[in-house]
Amino acid sequence: MAVAAAAASIAVGQVARTDKRKDRSRSPRGQAKSESDAKITHDVNKAEVDLLDGHSAEDIFRSSQNRSGYTYDDLICLPGHIAFGVHDVCLDSRFSKGITLKTPIVSSPMDTVTEHKMAIAMALQGGIGVIHTNLTVDAQVDEVMQVKKFKNGFITDPICIRPTMTLSELDELRRKHGFTGFPVTDDGRMGSKLVGLVTKRDTDFLDNRASTQVSAVMKKFADLAVADEGVELAKANQILREKKLGKLPIITAGGRLVALVARTDLRKQADFPLATKDKNGSLMVAAAIGTRPADRDRVRALVAAGVDAIIVDSSQGDSTFQHDIIRWMKAEFPELQVVGGNVVTRQQAKHLIECGVDGLRVGMGIGSICTTQEVCACGRAQASAVYNVAKVARAYGIPILADGGISSPGHIVKALCLGAGAAMCGSLLAGTEETPGEY
């Protein structure tokens, strides 16, 4: 027993001495290293959790702690990892429930932005143009028809001249437009009977330009090479090359001019795989209307001309007047795509959705020429408007157009990120070659 007790005592003493040696080994330097290792491990774990250091749209717009309105310039998209090329990017989107776009850009229905030239250019590139309503019914119908009749490579609205025009007047016309050859028709209008063609070589070195008329020097109809209406572009180009022509008129069986093909356009002609087309292969186009009773006759005329969509053009879209005309259009023309607006709140959007719209236009008081916020004290910061309306519209399968406040490509990207199906651009396009008027 004594031996066992002694052995136990020795063992306890050894353990005690070992513990004391361990305690003595914990120097300040050792403790600091241990704490540093623990901190690094903690920080790494925390960093892995906090890699997503931005904010989601839900955090920004729906937080109970934040009731601010945001514009596009208040927000920025954080970059991520890129594992694809530009050719892999798909921008397919929707203008309305029944119209898809390859390029999510829409030209605004402003009289300084969209008539047939802009609408054609937008549709060829995969977007769509909206013909403005500051026109007579007949003029707006004509703009729509020019888009629907357009064929790539054919000049469907050439400048025509009268046979009685003098050479001095022709010289001024050439300086103004920058080209030298013109078709000559009975009354100087497109669609009239073709009587000849005048080019620079016909008028060079001639005197008495103030008194000499075009009819005296032009190449007469009987001597012209022409093609019949309906000719394919490839065939028309072949005629141009084989006969070494500068211009080839396209005429009806009755001799009326319907188009022109120019040699200078041969190099410009290209395929447009993204083009927005209807089931018949024609370019798609939209038109704007108001909410007055007379606009119902305008709608009938536009539908007869082949318009693909109608946008109700109003700064305040949630009105009984717009509700009534939307319901009437959807009852009268069920297949017609109708875009309502403008709206900026979820409740406004819900009211128009209940009326049967196929799309919504979002924005109030933030366009380049819009004064709704200043005059009526109504509106909303555009980023907040787009996000909130898109949230409710998406639940019903309704695309939205972000209208206004777009002054750069970056704004378009932000609008799409916030839920827009397409961005409607006005001032961004104004002053370009395709816009109405002269600059």
- The DSSP string of 381-402 is -HHHHHHHHHHHHHHTT--EEE
Q: Which residues contact 366 (CB under 8 A, 6 or more apart)?
A: 71, 373, 379, 381, 382, 404, 405
According to DSSP, residue 87 is labeled: G
Give me 57's structure tokens.
């749209």
Q: Which residues contact 321 (CB under 8 A, 6 or more apart)?
A: 291, 292, 314
Q: What residues have CB less than 8 Å from 340, skipping those under 6 apart? A: 312, 317, 322, 326, 352, 355, 357, 359, 360, 361
3-state secondary structure of 365: coil
Distances (CA, A) of 166 to 44, 186, 387: 85, 15, 60
Tokens linked to 269? 């002609």
Residue 195: which of 182, 177, 212, 208 has the closest Cα? 182
- Strands annotated E in 217-300: 219-220, 227-228, 247-251, 257-262, 286-289
- What is d(CA 85, CA 87) in angstroms, rounded to the nearest whole number? 5
How buried is residue 174: exposed, middle or buried, by Cβ count under 10 Å (0-12/13-18/19+)? middle
Q: Is 77 a catalytic residue?
A: no
Q: Which of 160, 355, 370, 425 is catalytic?
A: 370
Could you tell me which residues come within 8 angstroms of residue 355 by beta carbon, excluding any fewer than 6 positions away? 322, 323, 326, 327, 330, 340
CB 358 within 8 A of CB 97: yes
CA dist 310 and 299 (Å) reads: 8
- For residue 216, what are the β-bridge partners? none
Strand runs (DSSP E) across 31-187, as ranges? Answer: 93-96, 99-101, 105-107, 128-131, 182-185
User: How many angstroms separate the CA atoms of 197 and 19, rounded?
Assistant: 112
The token pair at 401 is 């157009």
Residues involved in catalysis: 370
